[in-house]
């Protein structure tokens, strides 16, 4: 009994160390992506490329997630979380460093794709890692902690790349080298610290070796509800992040003020991504926080049509809280919806299809702006989608700890 207690204490300490590794990995996945927008004008001038090509360079890693997250999840189910994500981390390091050696658009695009492929392999392993180390009722809380690294990396990359990082070398290649440092550190710590799950190695091998049926995952109706909601969340986030500056300037803001107002979304995401899952865990329910976030997005989208410029500060804060709070809860849902050996495949499906929303949203907004000269019609579309997300959330099963308590009673 004493030995078992020592093992439990050791596992308890290690699980939070592993969350820290997942946090750093989330930071490392997105900082090299979000460092592109601040220096896009420099890249454009040096490589003599178009705005469209710059847009492709920025969105390519997200496209890679949409294309490869399912194979990445299946790989994690078959060979284990540590090995699968470790391989992805190596690809991230190689792609990130190679971007710093790029001298033309073609090589820069190819190495960005390599980095994105690494992200796509790593990403599905992180929810699976949480599912392996935490009970279901704590999965949302643990997901919120490690996912907080993502908005922080986005905010820092946007805020410090041009004024602080770029001047170190005065080259975009050097900027990519500097932003490779957290990628290298994350990869090294992953291989040193992370383990697939607590318990004996024999038990882990039995879990890893089980046959994973992708068809069973695709037939899971509740998982599809989570996919739809994540699609809508990403549609909103990347649309607001990409087109709020244009919307602010249409409302009369300067480009500098428009950028600052837009950044509120990302900064407020950080407390939202930590606090909302914590509150959800404390009260023992998940669904109300998801449909509540969707209704908040409805309010923002339709209010933005006629709102004057000062009102966009609180509106952007609402977006940050809603998306920041809902994202980790939705991402952790599959832990309670599928068997443990299929969480990687489920995560891959959730991320792959869910991130298509982030790929589709900004071009749709751009087309509407080109056609009508305003974003009013797109704001209506955003509100309708969020309202549909709230309706879908009502049909989802409750996975909070209160459900577990009711079953025990």
Which pLDDT belongs to residue 8? 56
What average pLDDT does the segment 381-409 reach? 79
Q: Which residue has the higher pLDDT, 366 or 28?
A: 28
Architecture category of domain 1-210 in CATH: Up-down Bundle (1.20)
CATH 1.20.1250.20 positions along the chain are 1-210, 212-396
Which pLDDT belongs to residue 393? 94
Which pLDDT belongs to residue 208? 44
* 122-126, 301-305, 370-374, 384-388, range with the lowest pLDDT: 370-374
Which pLDDT belongs to residue 401? 62
* 3-7, 264-268, 297-301, range with the lowest pLDDT: 3-7
pLDDT tops 80 at residue 316: yes
pTM given for the model: 0.76
What average pLDDT does the segment 142-164 reach? 84
Q: Please, how many CA atoms are within 13 Å of residue 136, restricted to the half-sphere of its CB?
A: 20
pLDDT tops 50 at residue 26: yes
What average pLDDT does the segment 30-34 reach? 90
pLDDT tens profile 257-270: 877 888 888 889 98
Question: Rounded to an integer, what distance in angstroms lies between the CA atom of residue 199 and that of residue 330?
Answer: 27
Give the chain's mean pLDDT. Answer: 85
CATH number of 212-396: 1.20.1250.20
């Amino acid at each position: 009994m004493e030995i078992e207690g020592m093992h439990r204490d050791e596992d308890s300490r290690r699980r939070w160390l592993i969350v820290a590794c997942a946090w750093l990995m989330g930071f490392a996945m997105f900082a090299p992506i979000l460092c592109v927008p601040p220096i896009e004008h420099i890249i454009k001038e040096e490589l003599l490329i178009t705005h469209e090509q710059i847009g492709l360079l920025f969105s390519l890693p997200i496209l890679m997630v949409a294309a490869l997250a399912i194979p990445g999840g299946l790989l994690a189910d078959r060979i284990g979380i540590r090995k699968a994500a470790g391989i992805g981390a190596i690809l991230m390091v190689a792609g990130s460093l190679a971007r710093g050696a790029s001298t033309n658009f073609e090589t820069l695009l190819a190495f960005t794709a390599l980095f994105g492929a690494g992200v796509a392999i790593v990403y599905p392993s992180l929810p699976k890692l949480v599912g392996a180390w935490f009970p279901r009722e704590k999965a949302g809380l643990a997901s919120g902690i490690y996912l907080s690294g993502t908005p922080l990396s986005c905010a820092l990359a946007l805020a410090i790349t041009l004024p602080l990082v770029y001047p170190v070398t005065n080259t975009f290649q050097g900027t990519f080298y500097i932003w490779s440092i957290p990628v290298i550190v994350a990869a090294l710590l992953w291989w040193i610290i992370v383990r697939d799950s607590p318990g004996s190695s024999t038990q882990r091998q039995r879990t890893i070796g089980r046959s994973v049926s992708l068809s069973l995952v695709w037939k899971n109706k509740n998982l599809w509800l989570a996919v739809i909601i994540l699609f809508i969340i990403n549609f909103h986030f990347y649309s607001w992040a990409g087109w709020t500056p244009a919307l602010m300037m249409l409302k009369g803001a300067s480009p500098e003020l428009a950028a600052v107002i837009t950044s509120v979304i990302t900064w407020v995401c950080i407390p939202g991504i930590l606090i909302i899952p914590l509150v959800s865990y404390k009260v023992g329910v998940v669904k109300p926080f998801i449909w509540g976030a969707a209704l908040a997005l409805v309010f923002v989208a339709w209010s933005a049509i006629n709102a004057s410029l000062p009102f966009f500060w609180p509106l952007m804060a609402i977006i940050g809280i809603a998306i920041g709070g809902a994202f980790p809860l939705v991402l952790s849902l599959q832990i309670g919806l599928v068997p443990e050996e299929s969480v990687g495949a489920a995560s891959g499906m959730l991320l792959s299809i869910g991130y298509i929303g982030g790929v589709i949203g900004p071009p749709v907004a751009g087309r509407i702006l080109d056609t009508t000269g305003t974003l009013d019609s797109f704001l209506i579309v955003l509100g309708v989608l969020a309202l549909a997300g709230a309706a879908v959330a009502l049909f989802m099963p409750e996975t909070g700890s209160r459900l577990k308590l009711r079953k025990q009673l």
